[in-house]
Amino acid sequence: MSLSSVQSTLSTLKSCQADLGGCMDMVSDVALGIVEAQGMDNSPALKKLEEMILECSRLDREINCFVESVDEMTAQVRHEPPEAMVHLRNSVKERFNELMAGVTDADLQRHSKVVAFRDSVRKYAMQAGQSAAENEEEELDEDIAVTQSQTNFICPLTQVEMVNPMKNKKCHHYYDQEAVLEMIKARHKNKKKFRCPKVGCGNTDVQQSDLELDLVMKRMIQNHKRQSGKT
Ligand SMILES: [Zn+2]
């Protein structure tokens, strides 16, 4: 085993981790579909999905612990004679077990995507309940509501309806994922800050870590599209 092969394994693992994140978003999206179809009253399917997302959270933790233990242990042997490499496997294993033993259930629950899962299920159930109640009332304000929601669905960068809306946790504005990530990357490459493009917003330094995919919003946009018949 050489250090370079260790590094390439680590980078493969990191791309697995990115896929895992996408997988967690997908689980959340399926959960929203269930809420939409049958509400959230003690749905066994919803419970199952929650177990799945916690399992993903655990895998994500495992990868982090593994990467951390490899980083620590390879740093230690880097300047030692090649024989030291022989023990690398065991020392990584030991350190990994140590780190994993420190992972609690609360840590798994705290994972940002687990939190997002719960938030979006709750938010979407409320939203669905609300619009059902509104539908029972007279639909006088419908036109106004549609115009309002349409403007909210427009990305301030692309000026078209968003596909993957990302919410800025700091100023609460929305942008389409692809456009905003590209923009931030381009600005940062030129050593410039990226200012929130929403008119009147005072947020002058938007970081990628401030942004979070909003699956509830995504679903609302999809439903709106379907209703207005431009699928
Ligand atoms: Zn803003």
Query: Given pLDDT bands bounded at 50, 70 and 90, which one contains residue 146?
Result: low
- pLDDT at position 189, please? 95
Unique residue bearing structure tokens 């870590």? 209
Q: What is the pLDDT of residue 206?
A: 96
Selection from 71, 69, 72 nearest residue 96 by Cα: 69
Band the pLDDT of 1: cuts 50, 70, 90. Answer: low
Q: What's at 222, amino acid-wise?
A: Q
Question: What is the secondary structure of 122-185 as a DSSP string?
Answer: HHHHHHHHHHHHHHHS--TTHHHHHHHHHHHTB-TTTSSB-SSEEEETTT--EEEHHHHHHHHH
**Over 90: is that where the pLDDT of 142 sits?**
no
Ligand 1: centre distance to CA 153 (Å):
15
Weakest-pLDDT range from 101-110, 113-122, 124-133, 208-217: 124-133
Find the mean pLDDT for residues 94-114: 95
Instruction: Flag whether pLDDT at 97 surpasses 60.
Output: yes
Q: Where are the domains of the chain?
A: 3-114, 156-227
Asked if residue 147 has pLDDT above 70, the reply is no
pLDDT digits (tens, 9 = 90+) for 171-222: 999 999 999 999 999 999 999 999 999 999 999 999 999 999 999 999 989 8
- Please give the average per-residue pLDDT across 83-103, as a whole number: 89
Q: 201 C-alpha to center of ligand 1: Å?
A: 5
**pLDDT: is 43 or 69 the higher one?**
69
Q: pLDDT value at position 150?
A: 60
For the chain, what is the mean pLDDT? 87
Distance 208 CA to ligand 1 centre (A): 13
What is the CA(150)–ligand 1 centre distance, in A? 18
pLDDT score, position 138: 46
Instruction: Identify whether the C-beta of residue 211 lies closer than 8 Å to the C-beta of residue 167.
Output: yes
Is 191 in a helix, a strand, or coil? coil
Q: Which DSSP string corresponds to 39-61?
A: -SSS-HHHHHHHHHHHHHHHHHH
- Where is pLDDT greater, at 23 or 231? 23
Distance from the CA of 146 to the center of ligand 1, in angstroms? 23
Question: How far, in Å, is the centroid of ligand 1 from the Cα of 217?
Answer: 16
Class of domain 156-227: alpha beta
- Asked if residues 114 and 106 have their Cβ atoms less than 8 Å apart, the reply is no
223 Cα to the center of ligand 1, angstroms: 25
Residue 168 CA, ligand 1 centroid: distance in Å? 7
| Contacts for 180 with CB less than 8 Å, ≥ 6 apart | 155, 157, 166, 206, 211
Helix (H) / strand (E) containing 211: strand 211-213
How far apart are the CA of 77 and the centre of ligand 1, in A?
47
Query: pLDDT value at position 201?
Result: 95
Distance from residue 171's CA to the centre of ligand 1 (Å): 4
* pLDDT one-digit tens code per residue, 9-68: 889 999 999 999 999 999 999 999 999 888 767 789 999 999 999 999 999 999 999 999
